[in-house]
Amino acid sequence: MRQEDHEKEEGDQMYRSGIKSLIRFTAVVALASLPVFSQTKAETGAQCTDCVPNEVIFQLGVPADLPAVASTYDLIPEPLGQVGTPPTYRMAVDTSRTSQTAEQIVSAMGSDNRISKAEVNRNLSAVERQGLSWTLGRSWAIGRSWAIGSSAKAYKRNWFENKIRLPQAHQISTGRGVTVAVLDTGIDLNHRAFEGRLVAGYDFVDDDSDPSEVGTYYTNPVYGHGTHVAGIVALTAPDAKIMPIRILDEDGVGNLWRVTAAIIWAAQNGADIVNVSFGYPDNPFLLEDLIDACDDGQTIDGKLFTELGNNRLMVVSAAGNGGNAVPIYPAGNRISPQIGVGSSNRYDKLSVFSTMNRGDVSGGDRFIRLVAPGEGIVSAIPGNRYATWSGTSMAAPVAAGVAALVKANEPGIGPEALVDRLDDTGVEWECFLTSRGYEIDTSRVDAFCALNNNQACGSNPGACQQNLSNER
């Protein structure tokens, strides 16, 4: 497909007033716990291509067993980090002592009753990154994106604003006093869309206090992803603060160690809501535990995360772009302080690329509880420009922005109640989706109903009719 040239808006002037002094990273050993995705089967042979080489993650019931465990599995004795109680350790394989891969070691740990939740340190990706086997992708290489170009005027007149009744909602709340952490590829700190709206963030890729995006147009297909996502939050909740946290590199790839550290950092530094527009098709045990603890500091089975401090977080996760019912994690986990978000289009129908669970999954236990506009969304991109992108990555920040409006209006509402509010006050979609051959049961976010706690916001039985969208 031919890559289209950018249409530079006349009169654009680069703002030079970006954040010059973000808070410096505090080296806390507790942050050094990696979230890792579980393997669906034990793998042997060559080193995996979608994980950090020669690293294993596991939970240990008795910390005093660590030296013996390290010796048994040929690990370097000093942990690379740990988190939680009982502790989860990140450790390196001693390649001078063994030729076993991390995957082989994880497989062997499965029969060791001293150890639980052993996994490799998986990589994860922005859900719009091209070339993934588990997503249709929505990058410039195959679809609508920032490569097409747009304008500041179009940004202020996004089609979705009226669809979710954002102008009416802004008469009640604009998000003042709430902070949304955007965990992504970083952002353009100097973009005018963020002027006066940023708080200090961090770069967990380069380990410094400058979370600016890194990359080149066309060379790095997801360059601009984080800026675009953050711009949607800024538009939806114009007085909320944005905390930019870079956890994905210029190719849209991160690892789960960074994610755990970033969520903890966001909690420790005052975030109220975390936007997660990335994922992986295997279930992340440690990330699942951490998100589970974001509402009260501990998991349902009692694991403590004192590293989160007293702040509580709602997590908004993009559903994935596989166009099927296969869950992408962490959105695929139904956890009380998290809401997974699919994508709707301007015709108020499910986007053809959006992951959406069947209505009868786990006896009706929906893992994607909400949809939000995610097609043809105009937002910011680096270089003080604006452009269009499509994907569940664009839907998630719409939901995160609406959550910020509610949180600002009701400061005492907790993460679990906030998740329920967005779900319960949306426009109900419950119908048979003929294009996929199964029932869906979800709701499309409505900002005005969310703010008024109107749990009779209406239904849209036509959501499952023929999809008229031209977005491909």
Which amino acids are annotated catalytic? 184, 225, 393
β-pair type (88-92, 81-83) = antiparallel
Contact 388, 150 (CB under 8 A): yes
Half-sphere exposure of 181 (CA within 13 A, CB side): 27
- Find the radius of gyration of the CA atoms of the chain: 21
Give me the phi and psi of 230, to 5 degrees please.
Answer: -65, -35
Distance of CA 66 to the CA centre of its chain: 32
Kindly list the distances between the CA atom of residue 87 and the CA atoms of 84, 116, 286, 306, in Å, as whole numbers in the listed order. Answer: 5, 11, 11, 11
Owner of token pair 């600002």: 408
